[in-house]
Amino acid sequence: AKESVLNVCMDAKHHKTKPGPEGALHGQCAPWKDHACCTAETSTGAHQDQSYLYNFNWNHCGVMPEKCKQHFIQDTCLYECSPNLGPWIDQVDNSWRRERILNVPLCKEDCDLWWEACKDAVTCRENWHKGWNWTTGTNRCPRGSICQPFKYVFPRPADLCEKIWSNSYKYTTEHQGGGRCIQMWFDPANGNPNVAVAKYYAQNGGDASPAPRAVLLLLPAALLSLL
Ligand SMILES: Nc1nc(=O)c2nc(CNc3ccc(C(=O)N[C@@H](CCC(=O)O)C(=O)O)cc3)cnc2[nH]1
């Protein structure tokens, strides 16, 4: 198993260099307090509108409904605090981070509930990482874009979860508790379920589908056997 991808923090804007206990983490980030990549300060920022984290404005097309915002807060907590995303860390040369997460297999429930809570919220962009007007110091809709309900911008839950953060997540049909998908939401009373998920993918490859491995390893062997 690739032990090196277990218990790590990505090299990004606010992450600690390695995971460790935090006496307390704020609100929805509390489940990660025993072993976290975020500081208490970052966890507080995760709950604020236009926080110092990214100066990101959730309310760029009018006020985001509270029930929807809760899912964005939970996404921020997972992104900033989780020490179990190592199998999906990828090098990048963004101005603001050296590493990102790519294709994290998100549990079906986490994505479906996020979409359901946000389907009537409004936005002007499909990819929230890029293309904003930052001239005022916070993101505003670029000229020529239009504000539309999420359900038109992201017709299916997979569109939301995959596209909004440039494929940080991969939509899956795997269920919470099955050990094959990462949970944004979990009850820490039963431990962090993502520990076992990271272990599984560290062994079996960060890609959820076996197809690329089969092509790389089995197909050349099959062709050689023909000679
Ligand atoms: N799951 C998840 N994955 C993420 O990658 C993630 N990233 C953020 C960070 N969000 C953002 C959003 C916009 C910009 C930004 O400055 N965008 C500029 C381009 C900057 C650049 O690439 O140089 C823009 O054009 O709008 C930075 C960070 C928050 N939650 C996340 N959640």
Cα separation, 227 vs 195, in Å, equals 44
Best probe residue, ligand 1, of 53, 56, 106, 129 (max atoms within 8 Å of C-beta): 129
Residue 221 phi/psi, 5-degree rounding, is -65, -40
Q: Are strands 122-123 and 148-149 parallel, antiparallel or unpaired?
A: antiparallel
The pLDDT value given to residue 3: 84
Specify the pLDDT at position 210: 55
According to the model, what pLDDT value does residue 212 have? 59
Question: From CA 157, how far away is CA 150, in angstroms rounded?
Answer: 10
Write down the pLDDT at residue 113.
Answer: 98
pLDDT at 15: 98
Ordered per-residue pLDDT tens for the chain, 227 residues: 688 999 999 999 999 999 999 999 999 999 999 999 999 999 999 999 999 999 999 999 999 999 999 999 999 999 999 999 999 999 999 999 999 999 999 999 999 999 999 999 999 999 999 999 999 999 999 999 999 999 999 999 999 999 999 999 999 999 999 999 999 999 999 999 999 999 999 999 866 555 655 666 666 777 778 77
**In sequence order, what E strands does 4-145 have?**
89-91, 99-101, 104-106, 122-123
Residue 214, both tokens? 């089969």
Question: What is the sign of the dihedral through the CA atoms of 198, 1, 36 and 188?
Answer: positive
- Distance in Å, CA 13 to ligand 1 centroid: 10
User: Distance, CA 23 to ligand 1 centroid (Å)?
Assistant: 28
The number of angstroms, rounded, from the C-alpha of 28 to the middle of its chain's C-alpha atoms is 15
* Model pTM score: 0.93
103: Cβ below 6 Å to ligand 1? no
Q: How far is the CA of 136 from the centre of ligand 1 (A)?
A: 17
CA of 56 to the centre of ligand 1 (A): 8
Cα distance between residue 60 and residue 72, in whole Å: 14
Whether the CB of 96 sits within 6 Å of ligand 1: yes
pLDDT reported for residue 222: 73
Q: What is the pLDDT of residue 127?
A: 98
Q: Which two tokens stand for residue 107?
A: 């549990």
How many CA within 13 A on the CB side of residue 114?
27
